[in-house]
Structure 1
Amino acid sequence: MISSKTRVGIVGYGVIGKRVAQAVACQGDMELAGVADVVADWRIQAAAARQFPLYAADPSATSAMRDAGLELRGSLDDLLDVCDIVVDCTPKRVGARNAERYRTAGKRFILHGGEKHDITGHSFVAEANYASAVGRDSTRVVSCNTTSIVRTLGALKRAGLLKRARGTLLRRATDPWESHLGGLMNTVHPEPSIPSHQGPDARSVDAELDVVTMAVAVPMTIAHVHYWTVDLTRAATEEEVRAAFASSSRIALLRGDAGLVAPNVVKELMADSGRPHDSLYEVGLWADMLRVQGTELFYAYMVDNQAIVIPETIDAIRALAGHPALASESIAMTDSALGMGTPFAAKAKA
């Protein structure tokens, strides 16, 4: 019997790849066709322990992977033969090189924010432009910070409140698992370009956004933190703004007076709640910090750089597959499968 599920192949089983694989595995309408990589160490061994079908992403890696005791189903070409859609989670610029290979194989594919918009001609955030991705051959799920910008400004835009926005990003120095390899200490590293790349990248999803960003790398690895000043289209109450943010299932309203005062505390809550990899898929926005003065809005939030793009990637798979056609249906399916919305009771207080 031929399965009606979308068969997903994942290339690269690193920080993003392993989280996408876990998310695909818990979707009722998807099947994990396999994982391709070039490493033979603890990272891919974890995939083997979950009995994910394994493939060598490059022939040069085959011997080392088999010597490490990994049971390979074949090469990347073999994985392409058995999947409907490819999600490329490889390091920056590798996906760009792989794109032509996917096209030659006639496979729809998804790249991530490390690659340029021009490679796919489409950049994706589900709440903003799911419909324009339906049935496409490829798309690019934008970076963690860009995803947060489009989600939050998009919520204000849908409420008719957004005029223009200016944000400062405190960027984590490195991924937590690589902290021993290097990172900032006793200093910060201002990004030399204003705007930083996230603002223009957000406009690749929604060209109407009037947004400028500045960024500085700081000595932390848990998450990014954003501070925003927004000019509203009219005077509004803080309750109205909180309601606009609460209208998005992908923005979690945090409350410092409930003890959620910093990123490390929020991540601990995710662990206690049983989220895989302690993942905060939502934008964690401090609702009780938010302030409005006339037509100016001020707020701050955190971004789990390893998790926020996972639900977007799942929705992008559905969009390329062409079902469901409506963003709201896919978002609801993804949110339910990933356990989003809990344990944030603060949303009910918006």
Structure 2
Amino acid sequence: MANSFSLTTFSSSSSLFIALLLIFSAAASAQLSSTFYSTSCPNALSTIQAAVQSAVANEKRMGASLLRLHFHDCFVQGCDGSVLLDDTSSFTGEKTAGPNQNSIRGFDVVDNIKKQVEAICNQTVSCADILAVAARDSVVALGGPSWTVQLGRRDSTTASLSQANSDIPSPNSNLSALISAFSKKGLSTNDMVALSGAHTIGQARCTVFRTRVYNETNIDASFATSVQGNCPSTGGDNNLSPLDLQTPTTFDNDYYTNLVNKKGLMHSDQQLFNGGSTDSLVNTYSTNPSRFTSDFVTAIVNMGNISPLTGTQGEIRLNCRKTN
């Protein structure tokens, strides 16, 4: 009887503890709001939008680069602007991590946006929020959907080179590794497939797809030959090829059509359509662009909610490259 009583008491206490955790978690998440800057910096979003539009008009590829910065930020420590930090004497930043070195770009554009925002609202808008808004505005600038960005993230005071190396999915990942990497961040397989559609824009370096276009068999032969023209079997590591040959600067669903036709540029791309569990969803997206855009919007909002710093956590950086 005593044992039964203590088990019941333990169970009740555990339930209460879990409930409190869920309430606390929901409260932290609820601190993000689409109207977070409506009073403190009402022109923040329009300022960011104008700067992004200018940058993308100057170089179409920049839209994909800014979207990728948001992704690489959120997958390391959550969406906290850590990807923007330069190395210091006390920690090594994330820019030299394997998935980032000679790959992520757009820092100057972010610096320019931050400078413009600081000019109208001193130390009010976080670098993490700038990345989230710039990602949305980049997609819109390239013909993609818009969405309501949740705001109120604060900036981290440190970064994690080790987590950048371990948690950002590799272009050589198999399907199971991709599903696992996204699941680790609280994102579903559906989220993963939809977010991969960001590869409808942007370019990749020869070094990350060379093995696929020379050695893999689940690839359209003419496509492989055309890509090899700009990616020799040795050398030319930094030569670029569009992730979507058809419409490389338009945010559409051609990425999925390419996969169905075995024209995915990177190994990790084609893994989404290679006889596995995600084939049916890729088929759906390839024929139903509105379903893709709807699911992409849901997925990127979910991604933007990964472990944000809110309230008094972190800080609002004056310079996105360094802590205050």
TM-score (norm 1): 0.26
Return the structure number with greater strand share.
1
TM-score (norm 2): 0.27
- Return the index of the structure with the highest Cα Rg: 2
Return the structure number with greater helix share.
2
Higher relative contact order (CA 8 A, sep 6+): 2
